Amino acid sequence: MDQEQRCGVDNIMIRRSRIKRVPAITMLPEDDSVIFQPTKLSPQRISFLNWNLYKGNGVDWQTDLVRFAREHDVLAIQEARLDAALHALLDDAGHSWSMNTAFYLKGDAAGVMTTSSATANGSSGFRVSEPVIRVPKSALVSYYAIEGHDERLLVANIHSINFTLGMKSYRAQLQQLYDAISHHDGPMIVAGDFNTWSDRRMRAVELLVQQLGLEDIEYRQPHRKQVFGYEIDHVFYRQLEVIDNRVWPVTSSDHNPISVFFSYKQGALI
């Protein structure tokens, strides 16, 4: 039987795939996390996709998402809308998921969601309100075991503040992200819609990348979503090796998905 759990003040929801067989959920109220006995990612190939799903408003988004879920181990989704269609799609694809709800849209939870063919063995998150339009934005941090290694892969999924009159709120959200993940000394993927539509915003993200010892991707295709001439979707990483990457032009969202294929070797240089 499928299990879905709500926990904590940050509206974290976690659901395991009906295909998986894992023990009952253990609550950790001190840090609003949920722990499972996980299946594990393969260190030889960790296929990752980042995508702003545009709340499912695009044309034929289900077809694209089914294909991406079947072809990737981990999906970081922004503007996920947890309606019946998305629920069923992820179940059919055999993906477990964690979601940090930012707000509700016609009764459906909307926010950032991280899904995987493996089961996260911990998830937590935070949310902030847009200072101008007051619509919340959320971030989600999930951990995945890697086959044959003690280290866990941290995946941070963020939808950054968009509308601001200055940089104070934007920098504060990035600082919250840093505070949430800087304790982790293992492999890491930090991805999302960063809304880096200005030089100042991009410099703030570059500072975060430097502080965490992350690397950027050298993209083979120039198809990432742009605002005012700036790419706003990013995937950063550390202690992993990039095998390949691809940006997929789609009509199913106003953002194009980013695929990155990683491998993990213990002791890889940051």
What secondary structure letter does DSSP report for 41?
A: B
Least confident of 28-32, 35-39, 50-54: 28-32
Per-residue pLDDT, 135: 85
Band the pLDDT of 16: cuts 50, 70, 90.
Answer: low
Rounded to an integer, the average pLDDT of 3-11 is: 49
What is the percent of the chain where pLDDT is above 90?
Answer: 76
Rounded to an integer, the average pLDDT of 32-54 is: 80
Per-residue pLDDT, 270: 37
Which residues make Cβ contacts (< 8 Å) with residue 177, sequence separation at least 6? 139, 156, 158, 190, 208
Report the alpha-carbon distance of residue 200 to residue 220 in Å, rounded.
25
**Structural domains of the chain sorted by starting position, each given as residue range(s) with its CATH number in brackets:** 4-263 (3.60.10.10)
HSE (CB half, 13 Å, CA atoms) of 190? 25
31 pLDDT exceeds 60?
no
Phi and psi at 56, nearest 5°, equal 70, 25
Query: If we measure between CA atoms, which residue out of 180, 187, 245 comes closest to residue 41?
Result: 187
Beta bridge mates, 144: 153
183 pLDDT exceeds 60?
yes
**Which residue type does 133 have?**
I
Q: Where are the alpha helices (DSSP H) in the chain?
A: 61-71, 84-93, 168-181, 199-212
Report the alpha-carbon distance of residue 65 to residue 79 in Å, rounded.
13
